[in-house]
Structure 1
């Protein structure tokens, strides 16, 4: 599934593609992709391609949020989440910092 998402992002000329391994960090997914499109139309086209391709490849029901405005589209494919942003929206939310490798270790309450 990750290879399909990456191929779609690359084919659609998404910008600044980042893949974050979430295994062991959260139960919501095993992987997250974050990418940018150049405009609302580009963001929507990238998201459409990913959703259509995942469905064609038999990955079942894929949930999508944000297609009405296409500033930030979230694709939830179960074990994988894909975020496609307009650049200014991406920099505002800065998900890479929140979920990236450089984030501080979580401490267990004793």
Structure 2
């Protein structure tokens, strides 16, 4: 990251670079939650992953995944939102609603 900041030509550009690195890290943290909890390989974490459509993502793993995501992003998901978390993509949307920037540029 330091190398990219050194290439910045202005404080604004430095801020943009740091935000992009942060956003990338959020996507990586999110993917890693799935990899760690569901014990998936890197290439098995795909955007169309859906609750209960894979043997790994059952109800128990679902609760563990919620805990892992809450810890990774320091958020607390509302119980109503937890029921909406039923796919890889819906988890990203819930995190964005919680104020986590998940834009992948």
Larger radius of gyration: 2
Greater share of helix residues, 1 or 2?
Answer: 2
Shorter-chain TM-score range: 0.3 to 0.5
Greater share of strand residues, 1 or 2?
Answer: 1
* TM-score with structure 1 setting the length: 0.40
